[in-house]
Amino acid sequence: MKNKPPAFLPNPDRESCPSYSYLKVCDTPECLLELGCNDWPMLIRESHLYHIMSESGHDIPFQQVSRLPELLKHPAFILRSFSHPENSVVMVTSETDSRNRPIIVPVNLQGDGRYHNKWVSSNQISSAYGRNSFRAFLSRAFQENAVLYWDEKECNALFHNLRQPFPDQLLLARKDPDYLAAIRFHEDVTKHRHILVDMDGVLATWGEIHAPEELYQKNYFLDRPPMENCVSSIRDLVRAGEDVYILSAFLADSPYAKSEKQEWLDRYLPEISSEHRIFLPTTGDKGKAACAALGLEELHQNVILLDDYNNNLFDFQRAGGTAVKALNGINGNTEEWKGPSLDICSPFSLRTLKIVTQSPGYQLKPRFRDSEETTSFSLQTALGIARMAFLELEKIRDDPAVPTQIMNQAEKFYRAELCSGKLTPKQVIARGRQGVYREKNVLERIHRNNISVDDD
């Protein structure tokens, strides 16, 4: 390799870079986050990076490799992987290699890598190379509904580099309109996000009504108890800088309803200013009300409504917005609503909201794990799960290249890390399948940490 490696590669000496080391290429780009991917570092194994740049490998020039962070930030397409559709995507860049083939970057969304001397969850780049027969590859992606994201500007740049016209008529003429509507276009991702939240049955509990007259009594709305987890989650979104609005219907013929809802918000959600509180009569259309309040001719996918009432959700969908049904423990017993839903009885984050807003049938399903997830398990449960991982290693045990001492010590070491909470059960099982236990440095780690685990 004649040229020096890119900036994110700290050590150009190939001999001193072990094959199991990982490098951080960039943070997960917004286009992947919008598809519901975890906000984890984008890592690549050093040996893979050298293979990408090597003349005997994929022969991608170091100038292009050094631009990987920018290329991943603005891909032409993001496709669901054909071989691993549940946990991997393929990012198609707008650049071509020396043979004028589009450079694609497969990404494993359930990867683990050793970064800064510890194992971390990551969106792991497995390679980057020029794709042969790209037109057939892209046509298959459209035919199998595997296109998740599309940036028209970068797409045009790609086909300009290929010196070919984009075959839009061929690819799109026979596609289901519902599928085309589910693709995340670049302009949708970059549009400003507005989150609109209903009150009754979402922020405030909705009790059983024995007679309609109860709704007209003084203090009926003011005295509704808050849905604590939902109120707390919305408050966190506001404090994080999200553009959150209240969108609530009120009884126009009640002398108390609207003013009591304002007072209720002053009491429980003062973070949402009066300018961000939209009220409309119960006979109104929430889609039209949102357009008028936001100054939009029509809604787009980044205008999100969280509501518990199906009619409001359908109105909002027809106006072009993204509707999410709030499951409050009472509703959700019918199958009338087929769109995304969110359990508001538990705390949720913006990342959770992004994941559930993906259209049913086209949702990417990466492994989801909140940073707050507890990793404390009873000893018996932890060891039971660890054994599931160890069963995956039976074939490895028969490999004479793996010393028995390393295998036995590795089992004890990872069992101890799981019990101490440094690894989750999913990580242990995944590493068992990946054969991470075979790594020769595991003994060094055992001795360095002075791990000792008694046999069962």
* Whole-angstrom distance, CA of residue 126 vs CA of residue 98: 20
- Assess if residue 371 is contained within a domain: no
Same domain, 127 and 246: no
Q: Which of 356, 391, 415 is the last residue of a domain?
A: 356
pLDDT at 222: 92
Same domain, 146 and 261: no
Residue 300: band (very low, low, confident or very high) from pLDDT cuts 50, 70, 90: confident
* pLDDT 10s digits, 14-71: 444 444 578 889 999 988 887 778 888 899 988 888 889 888 889 998 888 888 999 9
Which residue's structure tokens are 């045009």?
Answer: 156
CA atoms within 13 A on the CB side of 361: 11
pLDDT at 278: 96
Same domain, 171 and 44: yes
Same domain, 146 and 234: no
Query: Are 66 and 394 within 8 A, CB to CB?
Result: no
Contacts of 153 by beta carbon, 8 Å cutoff, 6+ apart: 186
Same domain, 227 and 93: no
* pLDDT 10s digits, 118-151: 788 889 999 999 999 998 898 888 888 888 888 8
Same domain, 288 and 424: no
- Assess if residue 136 is contained within a domain: yes
Same domain, 205 and 80: no
Which CATH number characterizes residue 323's domain? Answer: 3.40.50.1000
Token pair of 264, please? 């209720």
Of the listed ranges 8-12, 89-93, 258-262, the one predicted with least confidence: 8-12
Range with the largest mean pLDDT of 90-94, 218-222, 344-348, 413-417? 90-94
* Whole-angstrom distance, CA of residue 44 vs CA of residue 396: 25
- Assess if residue 346 is contained within a domain: yes
What's the alpha-carbon Rg for the chain, to the nearest Å? Answer: 26
Distances (CA, A) of 43 to 14, 106, 175, 347: 18, 12, 35, 30
Indicate if the alpha-carbon torsion angle 35, 40, 45, 51 is positive or negative: positive
Sheet bearing 341-343, strands edge to edge: 277-281, 243-250, 194-197, 303-307, 322-327, 341-343
Q: Which of 188, 204, 235 is the last residue of a domain?
A: 188
Range of the domain at 64: 14-188
Of 119, 24, 124, 121, nearest to 437 (Cα)? 119
Query: Are 107 and 125 within 8 A, CB to CB?
Result: yes
DSSP code of residue 120: E
Q: Please give the model's pTM, rounded to 2 decimal places.
A: 0.47
- Assess if residue 370 is contained within a domain: no
Span 412-434, average pLDDT: 56
**Residues 40, 42, 48, 49: what is their CA dihedral angle, to the nearest 10 degrees?**
-150
- Assess if residue 8 is contained within a domain: no
Same domain, 160 and 230: no
Percent of the chain with pLDDT over 90: 31
Query: Are 367 and 110 within 8 A, CB to CB?
Result: yes
Instruction: Tell me: pLDDT of 273 over 70.
Output: yes
* Whole-angstrom distance, CA of residue 162 vs CA of residue 95: 9
Same domain, 123 and 222: no
Of 142, 48, 128, nearest to 96 (Cα)? 128
Q: Which of 144, 170, 188 is the last residue of a domain?
A: 188
- Assess if residue 7 is contained within a domain: no
Token pair of 23, please? 């490098």
Q: What is the DSSP string of 206-223?
A: -PPPSSGGGGGSTTTTTT
Percent of the chain with pLDDT over 70: 65
The tally of domains found in the chain comes to 3
Calculate the CA 242 to chain-centre distance: 17
Same domain, 197 and 314: yes
153 CB neighbour count, 10 Å cutoff: 12
332 CB neighbour count, 10 Å cutoff: 14
- Assess if residue 366 is contained within a domain: no
Same domain, 260 and 387: no
Same domain, 278 and 329: yes
* pLDDT 10s digits, 176-196: 445 444 555 555 555 578 999
- Assess if residue 179 is contained within a domain: yes
